[in-house]
Chains A and B, each alone.
Chain A
Amino acid sequence: MSRSARLSLLLVTVLVLGGVAVGATLHAAGRDARKEHTRAGGPAVASGAVRLDDPHRSLFRTMAWGPHRDEITAVPAGRLTGPRTASGVRCLRFHAAAGTGLCLQAVHGTLRDTYRAVILDRRLHPLRHYDLAGTPTRARVSPSGRTVAWTVFVSGDSYAGTAFSTRTSVVDTRGRHLDASLESYALTVDGRPVHAADVNVWGVTFADDTRFYATAATAGKTYLVRGDRTTRTLRALHPNVECPSLSPDGTRLAYKKRVKGADPDAPWRLYVLDLRTLRERATGEHRNVDDQAVWRDDHTLVYSLPGDFGSDLWTVPADGTGAPHRLVTAALAPVFPR
């Protein structure tokens, strides 16, 4: 092939690929505009006043297409598939308790996207915010609403490929004291202190304002740890626990457990651990669950699975009986105010 023939072939390739690239971008921009319109048959969404402390309403991030996509919405507590009231506040991850909300959101900057954690009052007005070092993944508020915790993925570096690590922060919303990274707490496993550089902590769930449970990982293993903000300690209680979630009565933890023989890319099953006996039991959900479950009441778990709009909420009994069923489509990060 002559040089000019190759150059023309290159030119044609550039034109064709450029056309495809521009077309795909315009299509996405158009669909982005179309996503602003509600799709027929989808849930009805209207904007309105949303409160974080109304026991007759449940809350979640709606993912249905429409002008209110990704906003925190309220639905009747007894009928989650009912009409959605959108708050106007967009969050990637969200949790609330006793009138305090925690919203982890993206801030679209000129050069790169950044993220921040916003503390919300009972009417979803921002009280203050904290800059985040990476992509948000977990958010939790203590039962009293006084202490909040979040986890972000810190990824970095083109040499290290797709390696992620996590960073978990805890904030006292009244005293404003910030523990920027739980990795600075003293971790003990089997009674021995661990100072490894590869320690990661994520997925906090609060017992009260100072005591909490979380996942700590080191040397390729994950542990359920009990944390204490006053003594700044993490103590490992049980192996192979990720993203724990404490039941409202404080006796059990729902969590994702890495099961043997499962696909290494999808190893997690939903388990419940009794904190007194440290005995664990599988739930009736046999699919891979990559979420920090939420207790709807002392007997029922709610968690997300991938769906047509990104994520649907599913439910299963906490005692190992029953079968999972879909609670609501196009929703993420549920909260059930009490």
Chain B
Amino acid sequence: MYLADRRSAPSASAPPDGRRATTDHRPRRRAGSALSPTVLVLGTVSLITDISSEMVTAVLPLYLVAELGLSPWGFGVLDGVYNGVSALVRLVGGRLSDRGGGGGHKTVAAVGYGLSALCKPLLLMVHSLPLIGAVLAVDRTGKGLRTAPRDAMISLAAEPAVRGRAFGVHRAMDTAGALCGPLVAFVLLRVAAEGYDAVFTVSFCVAVLGVVVLLLFVPRRLPDAAQAAAERAPAGPRTPVRALLGRPEVRRLTGCAVLLGLTTVSDSFLYLTLQRRLDLPTGWFPLLPLGTAAAFLLLAVPLGAVADRIGRRRLFLAGHLALLGAYGLLLVPSAGGAALVCAVLVLHGSFYAATDGVLAAATADAVPEDARGSGLAVVQTGQTAARFVCSLAFGAAWTAWGDRTAVLTAAIGLALASAVSAFLLRRAVPAPASNSPAKEAR
């Protein structure tokens, strides 16, 4: 199988001292062909899986209310709990997947994708809120498990010079799937009115297809990881989170992700503020997230490529400046209309495009291959936790001072956090023009 995998993955054709060889090959490759097929396969897996999961997400409220006569209110309350569990599971998934020098990434990711796939037919069999809640909790566990190993595999499959673009391609494919899912679901409901069982069954089939594509076409042992494991055997499974954070590079990046996360207002609050400040008709509200997603989809690849050129940390910071711009527009007095809404959503989408995959790429630069899954999980979980704290604080600020002052406070906080991060990350990468901070990590 490994032989076949090598044939299917060009970067795997590198000789045993592949790191240098890969570096030598890079300039001769055209930019367009430099992406490893493994990245595209992982993007395809995410695209397929997101179609499947967003199909269910889109019809779940309607299914509960129209078919089961329940109210989905309980899920809103439990969502925070599920997200917390998901974040912890992500750390576990990252840690587990690093065992075995990279071979574990595929296994843990497959278990995560498989777990979520199994939940789809289960949704058909349970008819009460507690059991549906339990099934969704398992689904979230699967999502938590697979995220870190998947990002680790992307980072290992992509050559360092194109890592930003690789993550951009992955995030764009992921978002495309998320946008398709609801469409597929509603087409099915058009063919078979009240055919929720059809929606869940098709969602299951799509999810299984995602797992099969992963199992068949993602090489079990990515070349860099295998080699790294051989070279630094002692570090392997014994690299705990504390040792990771002992590395200044990782510490600075995690610190900045947390610091910036603390001033990143959650999507729901941003849309709520937008709607209230501009007094938008309620019918617009469901369209606001679509605007952000569309901008994210269109910009993820180009901004990923820009990140490879000017440095991932630099673009990560620039992305937060886009968010700062969005906050600023929300503060403009008596401005209104569709133009402002579009501007805010485009800035919000650019923020995601410039930070989501780019942070993963930057993390990959700073974390050794044999701890890639754990490292990604640590940075991303830190960021998620910080954003959760920000939501609580923003809600409190809104209560105490009103929405305008709350946004102003968030904007000032974000400006300060960006300045501190710019200082910290500049010190970490004295020469960002070298466009390969990865070298420093080695």
Chain B CB within 8 A of A46 CB: no
Docked pose: A1 CA to B5 CA in angstroms: 9
Docked pose: A333 CA to B129 CA in angstroms: 19
Docked pose: A134 CA to B79 CA in angstroms: 18
Contact of B285 among A17, A32, A111, A133 (CB under 8 A): A133
- Chain B, residue nearest A135 (CB): B61
Contact of B191 among A18, A29, A35 (CB under 8 A): A29
Q: Report the minimal beta-carbon distance from B45 to chain A, rounded to whole angstroms.
A: 12
Q: Are B195 and A153 in contact (CB under 8 A)?
A: no
- With A153-B72, A197-B269 already in contact, the answer to whether A92 and B191 are too (CB < 8 A) is no
Q: Report the minimal beta-carbon distance from B219 to chain A, rounded to whole angstroms.
A: 11
Q: Report the minimal beta-carbon distance from A34 to chain B, rounded to whole angstroms.
A: 11
- Chain A, residue nearest B65 (CB): A135
Contact of B282 among A14, A112, A167, A267 (CB under 8 A): A167
Q: Are A265 and B74 in contact (CB under 8 A)?
A: yes
- With A32-B194, A154-B285, A160-B266 already in contact, the answer to whether A112 and B186 are too (CB < 8 A) is yes
Q: Are A164 and B282 in contact (CB under 8 A)?
A: no
Chain B CB within 8 A of A175 CB: no
Q: Which residues of A contact B266 (CB under 8 A)?
A: 160
Chain A CB within 8 A of B441 CB: no
Contact bitstring B114-125, A, C-beta under 8 A = 1, else 0 = 000000000000
Contact of A136 among B50, B65, B133, B282 (CB under 8 A): B65
Contact bitstring A229-273, B, C-beta under 8 A = 1, else 0 = 000000000000010000000000000000000011111000000
Docked pose: A167 CA to B271 CA in angstroms: 14
Contact of B134 among A24, A136, A153, A265 (CB under 8 A): A265
Contact of A164 among B61, B66, B127, B188 (CB under 8 A): B61
Docked pose: A306 CA to B60 CA in angstroms: 16
- With A25-B191, A311-B68 already in contact, the answer to whether A159 and B289 are too (CB < 8 A) is yes
Contact bitstring A100-135, B, C-beta under 8 A = 1, else 0 = 000000101001110000000000000000011111
Q: Are A17 and B205 in contact (CB under 8 A)?
A: yes
How many A-B residue pairs lie within 8 Å, measured between CB atoms? 225
Q: Are B201 and A20 in contact (CB under 8 A)?
A: yes
Q: Which residues of B contact A113 (CB under 8 A)?
A: 62, 186, 189
- With A3-B8, A18-B205, A133-B282 already in contact, the answer to whether A28 and B192 are too (CB < 8 A) is yes
Docked pose: A133 CA to B61 CA in angstroms: 13
Q: Report the minimal beta-carbon distance from A307 to chain B, rounded to whole angstroms.
A: 8
Q: Are A288 and B283 in contact (CB under 8 A)?
A: no
Docked pose: A110 CA to B20 CA in angstroms: 55
Residue pairs across A and B with Cβ atoms less than 8 A apart, 9 shown, are: A6-B4, A10-B212, A14-B209, A21-B206, A136-B65, A158-B50, A195-B402, A219-B395, A311-B68
**CB proximity to B under 8 Å, residues A1-23:** 1-3, 6, 9-10, 13-14, 17-18, 20-21
Chain A CB within 8 A of B70 CB: yes
Q: Which residues of A contact B129 (CB under 8 A)?
A: 265-266, 288, 290
State how many residues of chain B have any CB contact under 8 Å with chain A: 85
- With A265-B134, A306-B70 already in contact, the answer to whether A156 and B289 are too (CB < 8 A) is yes
- Chain A, residue nearest B217 (CB): A6
Contact bitstring B224-268, A, C-beta under 8 A = 1, else 0 = 000000000000000000000000000000000000000000111
Chain B CB within 8 A of A210 CB: no
Q: Are A153 and B186 in contact (CB under 8 A)?
A: no
Chain A CB within 8 A of B208 CB: yes
Contact of A21 among B72, B130, B205 (CB under 8 A): B205
- Chain B, residue nearest A133 (CB): B282
Q: Which residues of B contact A32 (CB under 8 A)?
A: 192-195
Docked pose: A197 CA to B131 CA in angstroms: 31
Q: Report the minimal beta-carbon distance from A237 to chain B, rounded to whole angstroms.
A: 20
B contact patch SS: helix
Docked pose: A20 CA to B289 CA in angstroms: 32
**Which residues of B does A touch, CB under 8 Å?**
1, 4, 7-8, 50, 54, 57, 60-62, 65-79, 81-83, 127-134, 136, 140, 178, 182-183, 186, 188-195, 197-198, 201-202, 205-206, 208-209, 212-213, 216-217, 266-269, 271-273, 282-283, 285-286, 288-289, 292-293, 394-396, 398-399, 402-403, 406
Chain B CB within 8 A of A48 CB: no
- Chain B, residue nearest A63 (CB): B69
Q: Which residues of B contact A137 (CB under 8 A)?
A: 65, 71, 73
Q: Are A162 and B130 in contact (CB under 8 A)?
A: no
Q: Report the minimal beta-carbon distance from A96 to chain B, rounded to whole angstroms.
A: 18
Docked pose: A112 CA to B290 CA in angstroms: 13
Q: Which residues of B contact A13 (CB under 8 A)?
A: 208-209, 212
**CB proximity to B under 8 Å, residues A43-71:** 63
- Chain A, residue nearest B287 (CB): A156
Q: Are B201 and A24 in contact (CB under 8 A)?
A: yes
Q: Which residues of A contact B206 (CB under 8 A)?
A: 17, 21
Q: Which residues of A contact B190 (CB under 8 A)?
A: 108
Docked pose: A291 CA to B292 CA in angstroms: 35
Q: Are B68 and A306 in contact (CB under 8 A)?
A: yes
Q: Which residues of A contact B283 (CB under 8 A)?
A: 131, 133
Q: Which residues of B contact A35 (CB under 8 A)?
A: 194
Q: Are A162 and B194 in contact (CB under 8 A)?
A: no
Given contacts A153-B73, A290-B73, 19 further A-B contacts (CB under 8 A): A3-B4, A9-B216, A10-B213, A24-B197, A31-B195, A92-B65, A93-B65, A134-B286, A137-B65, A137-B71, A160-B79, A161-B82, A162-B72, A167-B282, A181-B282, A197-B406, A265-B130, A306-B128, A310-B67
- Chain A, residue nearest B272 (CB): A197
Docked pose: A59 CA to B127 CA in angstroms: 25
- With A162-B57, A162-B79, A181-B282 already in contact, the answer to whether A28 and B197 are too (CB < 8 A) is yes
Q: Which residues of A contact B83 (CB under 8 A)?
A: 161
Docked pose: A290 CA to B213 CA in angstroms: 41
Contact bitstring A172-202, B, C-beta under 8 A = 1, else 0 = 0000000011000000000000111110001
Q: Which residues of B contact A196 (CB under 8 A)?
A: 395-396, 398-399
Q: Which residues of A contact B406 (CB under 8 A)?
A: 197
Contact of A264 among B81, B208, B273 (CB under 8 A): B81
- Chain B, residue nearest A4 (CB): B4
Q: Which residues of B contact A155 (CB under 8 A)?
A: 61, 72, 286
Q: Are A310 and B75 in contact (CB under 8 A)?
A: no
Docked pose: A127 CA to B281 CA in angstroms: 22
Q: Which residues of B contact A198 (CB under 8 A)?
A: 395
Docked pose: A18 CA to B268 CA in angstroms: 36
Q: Are A158 and B57 in contact (CB under 8 A)?
A: yes
- With A24-B197, A198-B395, A332-B69 already in contact, the answer to whether A162 and B136 are too (CB < 8 A) is yes
Q: Which residues of A contact B208 (CB under 8 A)?
A: 13, 17
